[in-house]
Amino acid sequence: MNTILITGSSSGFGLETARYFLDRDWTVIATMRKPRKDVLPASERLRIVALDVTEAASISRALNEAGPIDALVNNAGAGLMGALEGVSMEAMRQLFELNTFGTMAMTQAALPGFRKQGSGVIVNVSSAVTLKPLPLLSAYTASKAAVETFSENLALEVELFGVRVRLVIPGRAPKTSFSATARDRSQNGIPEAYASWAKQVFSATPPQPAEITTADDVAKAVWQAVTDASSPFRILAGADAVKLAAQVA
Ligand SMILES: NC(=O)c1ccc[n+]([C@@H]2O[C@H](COP(=O)([O-])OP(=O)(O)OC[C@H]3O[C@@H](n4cnc5c(N)ncnc54)[C@H](OP(=O)(O)O)[C@@H]3O)[C@@H](O)[C@H]2O)c1
């Protein structure tokens, strides 16, 4: 029996990934800051476990409760938009605590188990914003670029224990809670000195491309990362991510 632990399973990509693996006979440990039993179908193979990836005590409690796992998906994360001058250091630190240090802390805590069993897969969810520089997204992009380089280096030091690391790189997914959460965190991200330029940036932005990423695209990419040992290190999720990667190649 295969067991996967997914962070941020209350909504969006994490929720869909939990559903996808449940449908394919995996045991799923769906972790959430505020555990909810009503978002996933009841199953003997489903366990809902409380986890805040920014708190060390919560991480060790969750992993103890989970027991041995075969795969860890570091999906929990949030966005932040604004000019660097418009985003507080506190907001940026909180973002890195979640997107970057949360991923590193979960990975560090799961590794002893993987190492002892001589196997395991770590899937880190990044973002297609790392493929091409964009204005007003410097903090968010930096938090995900750090996850990518961290993952690349980590892969080299854990492969000797039979542990694989993969990146899933989704494009823009407007149907998850991501944009609303990013708006709340960003608050007044565009100071007066940037206002007219930011207006031009937004009006020069072509209409949103028809291609988008869905939660199902991400669940499928995570499935490939976990179940296919020959999968590439970077797995793009969503037609827009695939198109952008081809444009910048
Ligand atoms: N949507 C996009 O356009 C997009 C594109 C590329 C990459 N991504 C990345 O994909 C991942 C999932 O995003 P999504 O679109 O599915 O957004 P989402 O629906 O907002 O999901 C984010 C998840 O992270 C959880 N979370 C937030 N803070 C947490 C914490 N401290 N500890 C544990 N869990 C926490 C949220 O839980 P609560 O319900 O408790 O807040 C929620 O379950 C993120 O890493 C995001 O950066 C998103």
In angstroms, the CA 127 to CA 145 distance is 9
The answer to whether the CB of 137 falls within 8 A of the CB of 190 is no
Q: Give start and end residues of each alpha helix (H) in 159-191.
A: 178-186
| Residue 140 is among the residues annotated as catalytic for this protein | yes
- Which positions ≥6 away from 24 have C-beta within 8 Å? 223
Q: What pTM value is reported for the model? A: 0.97
**What angle do the packed helices 102-117 and 138-158 form, to 10 degrees?**
10
Please, what are the domains in the chain? 3-248 (3.40.50.720)
pLDDT of 206 above 80: no
The answer to whether the CB of 129 falls within 8 A of the CB of 172 is no
Residue list, ligand 1 pocket, CB within 6 Å = 7-8, 10-14, 32-34, 51-54, 75-79, 98, 125, 127, 170, 172-173, 176-178, 181
Read off the pLDDT of each residue in 201-216 and give the average, rounded to a whole number.
Answer: 82
pLDDT of 208 above 80: no
Beta strands in the chain (DSSP E): 3-6, 27-32, 46-50, 71-74, 120-125, 163-170, 234-237
pLDDT bracket for residue 203 (50, 70, 90):
confident
**pLDDT tens digits for 219-235?**
999 999 999 999 999 99
- Tell me what pLDDT residue 204 has: 73
- Tell me what pLDDT residue 188 has: 80
Q: How far is the CA of 179 from the centre of ligand 1 (A)?
A: 10
Placement of tokens 């938090």 in the chain: 143
Task: State which of 5, 6, 11 you would mutate to test the pocket of ligand 1, scoring each by most atoms of that ligand within 8 A of its C-beta.
Answer: 11
- Tell me what pLDDT residue 155 has: 98
In angstroms, the CA 5 to CA 214 distance is 21
Across all residues in the chain, what is the average pLDDT?
96
